[in-house]
Amino acid sequence: MKKREKNIALLILTCVLAIIIVPVFVIFGIPLILLIFEADQHNTIDNVPKFLDDKIELDIKGCEVKENIDTHFIGDGEVYITLDCSNKSEYITKQISNWNKLPLSDNLKIELYGGNKNEETYRFGILEDNEDYYMPVISNGYYYFVDKQNKEAEKHSDKYLLDDDRYSFNYYIAIYDIDTNKLYYIEDDT
């Protein structure tokens, strides 16, 4: 008889918990799930010229925005911007004369496209992870890189980018293609 009473008590407890948990899930859980799925939708940067001027100190007014994707959600995400600067190519080229000349360093190539280094295979590059954004491999141009996790004196260095003890990536890179006059901007915050 005691076993039957235990089972009845357990059944009652389960029903009471279900009565409490189901409404809480409906009130809080469903909206949270919808918010998470909504995060998969892409946002855009409101003012691309100001945004890029603040980040890479480049006046791109007059360039045509071709791509503008921002996947940030609660701090993490990526930004992908492509600009056609054909009508301002001479002006842009003068502004970026202090940028690094391509090719990219090995660390940056691996971070963007994936690859191997020191007999180790690194995760897919950020460009392979995103099906909605395409940037070709550029061989003639300049790039500007900032690792937001480095000290101010080393913020333009990528030497720590693939360190084993690094658990997040917080950087941005702009690449200007001299042949097509396109500017590509990628930002990763994990």
**What is the rounded distance in angstroms from the CA atom of residue 97 to the CA atom of residue 181?**
14
Cis ω on the peptide bond leading into residue 49 (within 30° of 0)?
no
Stated pTM of the model: 0.74
86 and 22 belong to one structural domain? no
| Residue, of 12 and 96, whose pLDDT is higher | 96
Same domain, 74 and 4: no
Residue 37 has pLDDT above 80, yes or no: no
Q: How confident is the model at residue 35 (pLDDT cuts 50, 70, 90)?
A: low
| DSSP conformational letter for 91 | H
Residue 144 to residue 142: CA distance in whole angstroms: 7
Query: Of residues 111 and 176, which shows the higher confidence score?
Result: 176
Mean pLDDT of 152-163: 85
Indicate left, alpha or beta for 74 from its phi (over 0: left) and psi (-120 to 50: alpha).
Answer: left
Residues 168-184: tens digit of each pLDDT:
888 999 999 999 999 99
Say if 43 falls within a structural domain: no
- For residues 32 and 84, membership in a common domain is answered with no
The span from the CA of 58 to the CA of 79, in Å, is 17
Residues 8 and 92 placed together within one structural domain of the fold: no
Distance (Å, whole) CA 30 – CA 16: 21
Are 58 and 85 part of one and the same domain? yes
User: Do 171 and 78 have their domain in common?
Assistant: yes
Same domain, 27 and 80: no
pLDDT attached to residue 171: 92
Domain that residue 114 falls in: 48-189
Tokens linked to 95: 């502004």
Do 55 and 34 lie in one domain? The reply is no
Residues near 189 by Cβ (< 8 Å), separated by ≥ 6?
A: 72, 75, 76, 77, 78, 148, 169, 170
Q: Which of the 8 DSSP states describes residue 88?
A: G
- Specify the pLDDT at position 146: 94
Same domain, 94 and 24: no
pLDDT digit string, tens, across residues 1-21: 577 777 777 778 777 777 887
Of 11-15, 51-55, 62-66, the range with the lowest mean pLDDT is 11-15
pLDDT band for 56, please (50, 70, 90 cuts): very high
| pLDDT for the residue numbered 28 | 65
The mean predicted confidence, pLDDT, of the chain is 83
What's the pLDDT at 113?
83
Q: What is the pLDDT of residue 168?
A: 81
Q: How far apart are CA 145 and CA 156, in angstroms?
A: 5
The better pLDDT of the pair 29, 80 is held by 80
